[in-house]
Structure 1
Amino acid sequence: MKSFSMRATPIALLFALAAAPALAADFSLTVSGIKNGQAAAAENYWNNFGCSGGNVMPKLEWKNAPAGTKSFALTFYDKDAPTGSGFWHWVAYNIPADTQGLPGGANGGSLPAGAVEGNTDLGKPGFFGPCPPVGRKHHYIWTVHALKTDALAVDKNASPALVGFYLWQNRLGEASVTVTAGPRK
């Protein structure tokens, strides 16, 4: 039996990489004014539950979405919320594939035509900035999800957990930035 090798030369690999579409690893998200691991600005905090912020969503920008991306979804999630399942502070989906960012602004700012602002864990749509319990530091995760569908087949009144189920089924890639908030006194 004759054996053969599938080794590629370094030059062949370079040509293959140069011609390859964007990989999920290249997908990136930028949160205006905040680097990964840094604290959210005071203006981003929610103005409720003892917090006194402006509830301003920062500007979000992303680039190098995976090949085949047909739409995006964005989520803002507190993984440290004392609920046993975290807390969804903001959910938006059916964002057109040609969108590369959102301007942010008070109460979440505006979304492109056709996009849906989904329910949060408060049971209603809207942006709810960080507001950790007194004395605790929380980690909040901004995530942009590149999806293989133009629109999620989910009712606009769906829970964030159900939207998350559909995100997982349709995701080609994701990019995240984690910000911290607290501890507050």
Structure 2
Amino acid sequence: MQSNLTPNASIPADYYWNQFGCSGANLAPKLTWEHAPKGTQSFAVTFYDKDAPTGSGFWHRVVYNIPSQINQLEGGVNGGILPVEAIEANTDLGKPGFFGPCPPKGREHRYVWTVHALDVAKLPIDANASPALVGFYLWQHRLAEANLTVLAGSK
């Protein structure tokens, strides 16, 4: 996976969310992927805070049913424009969409972008699914994945 972000480095302030005490522009990075495994019928892209103080992390973006001929998400403000066929599932805020990092004061958090190559064209769930339910189906249908970890501290 390629991105305009540097792996394992702190992300620029513009990528932060603009709520909960953060003052970013809520930008999602451009993500590009290649070399999907044979049998890939669709992709999913997730953005997850591994270090959120919840006991189970925090989902910032969950997009699935991205057609197999698509190999990038453009990114941009509020996540940017998605392919028409893609479904943006609920985040851990209880609504669909994208929101950038805004960790509480303290240590840096690890945020992970993951592109999942899936063996089905469409996951058998609707747009109101929780991130955990989407993750359950991603686990069952994942052929491969690529990860990009970035760091974010309180701003």
1:127-175 deviations in Å (ceiling 9; x for gaps): 1100111122100000000000000001110000000000000000000
Partner of 2:2: 30
Shift of 1:39: 1.1
Shift of 1:183: 4.2
Partner of 1:101: 72
Shift of 1:41: 1.4
The SS at the match of 1:63 is coil
The SS at the match of 1:91 is strand
Shift of 1:36: 1.4
- Please say which of residues 175-184 and 51-60 is displaced more in the overlay: 175-184
State the one-letter code of the partner of 2:10.
A
TM-score by length of 1: 0.82
Could you say which structure has the greater relative contact order, defined with CA pairs below 8 angstroms and 6 or more residues apart? 2
Q: Distance in 1 between matches of 2:37 and 2:100?
A: 29
Q: Provide the identity percentage.
A: 64
Shift of 1:88: 0.1
Partner of 1:134: 105
Q: Work out whether 1:78 is the aligned partner of 2:57.
A: no
Q: Distance in 1 between matches of 2:46 and 2:132?
A: 11
TM-score by length of 2: 0.98
Q: How many residues align?
A: 155
1:1-185 matched pairs, under 5 angstroms: 29-32=1-4, 34-184=5-155
Q: Distance in 1 between matches of 2:154 and 2:25?
A: 18
Q: CA RMSD in A?
A: 0.8
- 8 A Cα contact 2:22 2:154, kept in partner: no
Q: Distance in 1 between matches of 2:3 and 2:147?
A: 9
Q: Distance in 2 between matches of 1:98 and 1:42?
A: 32
- 8 A Cα contact 2:102 2:154, kept in partner: no
- 8 A Cα contact 2:112 2:148, kept in partner: yes
Gaps of 5+ in 2: none
